[in-house]
Amino acid sequence: NAGVTQTPKFQVLKTGQSMTLQCAQDMNHEYMSWYRQDPGMGLRLIHYSVGAGITDQGEVPNGYNVSRSTTEDFPLRLLSAAPSQTSVYFCASRPAPGQPNIGTGNTIYFGEGSWLTVV
Amino acid sequence: DAKTTQPTSMDCAEGRAANLPCNHSTISGNEYVYWYRQIHSQGPQYIIHGLKNNETNEMASLIITEDRKSSTLILPHATLRDTAVYYCIVRPFRWNTPLVFGKGTRLSVIA
């Protein structure tokens, strides 16, 4: 099934540990992004990518690294987890103009979220 | 990028139409208005989008004012399952510019 897949769905980390949240899409979308959502808040953009080998910072990039070695994958790395990074993380993708659209029009596709707790 | 302003929360009686407003007074001529909703911390779900004309699909209708400075999302017969946070987003004309979410409107559908 076409879509955005995030793993893991749930993770508990100790302060100072590192980990990678995985995001993969099978729709050949050029644009991918990571958001975080704290309780009762809207989504805030962490990093985004407009194609393989290209990444850029969003609103809240500190403490996170990303890379885009392939069109399909956009992993988010926490180098040294802090309690302030406890949040729900969403990955999203969308096609570039002219790309074939899969699904409902030229829209944004979100993963189901990854719940991260840092203790 | 254009910014949006939405009420923090709204209530709607079950079976009635829910009208969710959004102001985007600085929208550019080629920017689209998108609506998404998020049910109980699931991933945001696409609802509808439009540029100038009013749009309708199986989920909702989108009414955009002639000057494009505001829009209204209409859920014609709200059900309890429509309780969610609704986000009005202006999509940048440049496809490779990031999308910025506001805090959205928390719609509560009441039986």
For each of chain B's 111 residues, which pLDDT tens digit applies?
Answer: 558 999 999 999 999 999 999 999 999 888 889 899 999 878 888 899 898 889 999 999 999 999 999 999 999 999 999 999 999 988 765 667 777 788 899 999 999
Contacting residues of B for A4, CB less than 8 Å apart: 43
Structure tokens at A72: 């399909």
Q: What percent of chain A has pLDDT over 70?
A: 90
Residues of B in contact with A112 (CB under 8 A): 42-43
Backbone φ and ψ for A83, nearest 5 degrees, come out as -55, -30
Contact B36 A88 (CB under 8 A): no
Residue B94 has a pLDDT of: 65
Please check whether residue B74 is in contact with residue B107, taking contact to mean a CB–CB distance below 8 angstroms: no
What pLDDT was estimated at residue A108? Answer: 80
Q: Nearest residue on chain B to A96, judged by CA atoms?
A: B95
Q: Would an 8 Å CB–CB cutoff place A108 in contact with chain B?
A: yes
pLDDT for A35:
96
Nearest of B52, B23, B40 to residue B80 by alpha carbon: B40
Interface with A, mutate which of B46, B58, B59 (most A CBs under 10 A): B46
State yes or no: pLDDT of A23 exceeds 80.
Answer: yes
Q: How far apart are CA A56 and CA B59, in angstroms?
A: 34
Put simply, the chain B residues between 26 and 65 with a CB less than 8 A from any chain A CB are 34, 36, 41-46, 49
Question: Does A115 have pLDDT greater than 80?
Answer: yes
Are the beta carbons of A42 and B104 separated by less than 8 Å? Answer: yes
Q: Do A33 and B98 touch (CB under 8 A)?
A: yes
Mean pLDDT, residues A3-21: 96
Give the residue from A27, A86, A108, A115 with the most B CB atoms within 10 Å of its CB, the best one to mutate. A108
Residue B43 has what DSSP assignment? P
pLDDT category at A102 given cuts 50, 70, 90 is very low
Whether A96 has a pLDDT exceeding 50, the answer reads yes
Rounded CA gap, A69 and B73, in Å? 39
B92 at A interface, C-beta within 8 A: no
Residues 6+ apart with CB under 8 A from B67: none
Give φ, ψ of B80 to 5 degrees.
-60, -30
**3-state DSSP assignment of residue B80:** helix
User: How deeply is B47 buried, as exposed, middle or buried, from its count of CB atoms within 10 A (0-12, 13-18, 19+)?
Assistant: buried
Q: CB-side exposure of B21: number of CA atoms within 13 Å?
A: 9
Residue A11: the pLDDT is: 97
State phi, psi for A84 to the nearest 5 degrees.
-65, -10
A74 has a pLDDT exceeding 60: yes
Question: Which chain B residues are Cβ-neighbours of A45 within 8 angstroms?
Answer: 98-101
Q: What is the mean pLDDT of chain A?
A: 90
Mean pLDDT to the nearest integer, A51-69: 95
Q: Residue A100: is its pLDDT beyond 80?
A: no
Nearest in space to B95 (alpha carbons), one of A101, A75, A60: A101
pLDDT of residue B2: 54
Contact check, Cβ <8 Å, B34/A108: yes
Does residue A119 surpass a pLDDT of 80? yes
- Residues comprising chain B, all counted: 111
Contacts of B41 in chain A (CB under 8 A): 37, 88, 113
